[in-house]
Amino acid sequence: MGTADKNIFMGKTGWLFLILMICIMSSLHAQQDAQYTQYMYNTVSVNPAYAGSRGHLSIAALYRNQWLGLDGAPETQTLNIHTPMGYRGVGLGLSIVNDKIGPTSETYFDVDFSYTIQTSWEGRLSFGLKASAHMLDIRYSELDEFEVDPQLQSQQDIQNKFSPNIGAGVYYHTDRFYVGLSAPRILETSHFDESSVSTAKEQINMYLITGYVWDLNPFLKFKPTLLTKAVQGAPLQVDLSANFMMNEKFIGGVAYRWDAAFSGLFGFMLSDQLMLGLAYDREITELGAATFNDGSFEVIIRYDFIRNIGNLKSPRFF
């Protein structure tokens, strides 16, 4: 192996080792939820009060591959479906979130319930509850090829460790504006015994999300959005995006994750019911400068079961 190849290999191994330590290091107290660049199309994953707010049955699937080219980097899949129930203000939703980082895999099975009241001619205020079943896998056996603490390598693999959780949120929207505050996981669950060499405690992640839709002209709309995530023991995460929608068919824009990444976003309304969204992130941290990190990629597809499109007086832009 040449010197250059060896340096690249050592660099990749170093970053992988860092990721593994983030996942399973001793006294890991600030576990965070999966992150999304296209959060504006995936709101129900972070706020249960959003369930049913689109006014019809909606189903969405998202895939995110973070830090392309780096083995063991985060990989996330989500699937959610939600709908209003009759005319009583009740909304229901089901979600599955699978998040994989290195030798760890987490899967959430969520049930969302919302209740909406009309506050004005255009305003709606929703309250939401989330019930979660969390399954955790850790494959210590995969650490054998890395030079890590022998105590970690000697641990028994953890398979389908179950823990419940609950969440809550509030969400207000009109035809053009929305704002929501939520905590999808409220219980601070410890995933390991105190006697274990590795400990992980699920912290409360607080989310603030908001956005607006401006008509710049009859053919062009401006859609700025903001997502703020706060969790104890980790830096405040702020995501800003600015999207432009042309002819209600094509969406293009940029996003900035504070001190972390720049992103490009593209969306296509393939029909009045089907939307495809793409995003590409480029890290501005030291990890982003690594030659083997090709950025992060995200794709989302959403289908709305609109019964009578011709009578849809107020199309939803969020």
b/e for 3-33, b at 16 or more Cβ within 10 A? eeeeeeeeebeebbbebbeebbbeebeebeb
pLDDT digits over 304-315, tens only?
A: 998 765 545 456
In order, the DSSP letters of 25-48 are: -TTEEEE-----S-GGG-GGGT-G
pLDDT (0 to 100) of residue 169: 97
Domain edges within the chain: 48-304
Q: Say if residue 210's pLDDT is above 60.
A: yes
DSSP H or E run through 12? helix 3-24
Contacts of 38 (CB under 8 A, 6+ apart): 62, 265, 277, 279, 298, 300
Superfamily for domain range 48-304 = monomeric porin ompg (2.40.160.40)
Residue-averaged pLDDT of the chain:
83
pLDDT (0 to 100) of residue 52: 95
Q: What angle do CA 267, 270, 276 make, to 5 degrees?
A: 40
Q: Say if residue 29's pLDDT is above 50.
A: no
The mean pLDDT of 229-235, rounded to a whole number, is 87
pLDDT (0 to 100) of residue 148: 52
Q: Say if residue 60's pLDDT is above 60.
A: yes
